[in-house]
Amino acid sequence: MQPQMSHQAMGYDRTSTMFSPDGRLLQVEYAKKTVKQGTSAIGIVCKDGVILVADKRIVEKLIVPESVEKVFQVDEHIGATASGIISDGRVLIERSQVLSQQHRVTYDSPIDVQTIVKDICDIKQQFTQYGGARPFGVSILFAGVDGGDNEAEPKLFLTDPTGIFFEFKATAIGEGETEIKEILDSEYKENINVEDGIKLAIKAIRKVLGKEFDIARIDGAYIKIDEKKFVRLTQDKLSKYK
């Protein structure tokens, strides 16, 4: 009797719309593995805001560090970062930027973070269901501040290639995800402030990268509850965290 053939050999991974006999969509699982090979990105909800910090992974000395963007502004009060195939992430983040502007024009008010997350996840899910296109090989962290002045609340959501999303207090995606989450599990506190949150995120990335760590590789931003403004961390600001 011939040994049982693998799912790959039997062709169950040739399309994202074909279930394997044990109920798996292999192309979607491959997309999730792609995310784990991407650069590290961290989101942390703080008592006074929310932060995003990511590794830009600059592999050539002649690349201008400022030209590499890993943390994106979606709206005045929302930011995003991605891990995996960044070109996939850029397309989806640009979609979220358009959606947020359409909401402002239509309703004369800022969009909430979860509305954007649901729209992006709907698109991701479609690409796991219809033939002729591969799933998006990217996970995106969306962070922002929702609500009025008296009810403002920081939010952090993770979207994965399946189209599922979760809200987190702190999480990480990309390479070193497991190590970073262990650090967050042990050191994150709900009363942490933005300043200490940035320090914690950079500490986690430093541990993952080891000797390869360079502050020039770090991209980051924060949104404070009282300001509701996306503020990018410049190299001057980041230099004090060396």
What is the end-to-end Cα distance of the chain in Å, rounded? 61
Reported as a single tens digit per residue, the pLDDT across 58-73 is 878 888 878 889 999 9
Contact 163, 30 (CB under 8 A): no
Question: Among candidates 174, 175, 157, which has minimal Cα distance to 166?
Answer: 157
Burial of 185 (0-12, 13-18, 19+ CB in 10 A): exposed
Rounded to two decimals, the pTM is 0.92
DSSP letters of 66-100?
GG---EEEEETTEEEEEEE-HHHHHHHHHHHHHHH
As a whole number, mean pLDDT of residues 90-109 equals: 96
Rounded CA separation 58/241 (Å): 19
Instruction: Residue 98: count other Cβ atoms within 10 Å of its Cβ.
Output: 11
On average, the pLDDT of the chain sits at: 91
**Which pLDDT tens digit goes with each residue over 12-49?**
677 777 888 888 888 888 999 999 999 999 999 999 99
What pLDDT score was predicted for residue 2? 45
What the chain holds in terms of domains, given with CATH numbers, is: 26-241 (3.60.20.10)
Tokens representing 177 are: 């995800």
Quote the pLDDT of residue 5. Answer: 54
pLDDT of amino acid 10 = 67
Residue 240 banded pLDDT, cuts 50, 70, 90 = confident
For 72-176, where are the alpha helices, taking DSSP H only?
A: 86-107, 113-126
Residues 153-196: pLDDT tens digits?
999 999 999 999 999 999 999 999 999 999 999 999 999 999 99
Residue with tokens 């960044």: 86
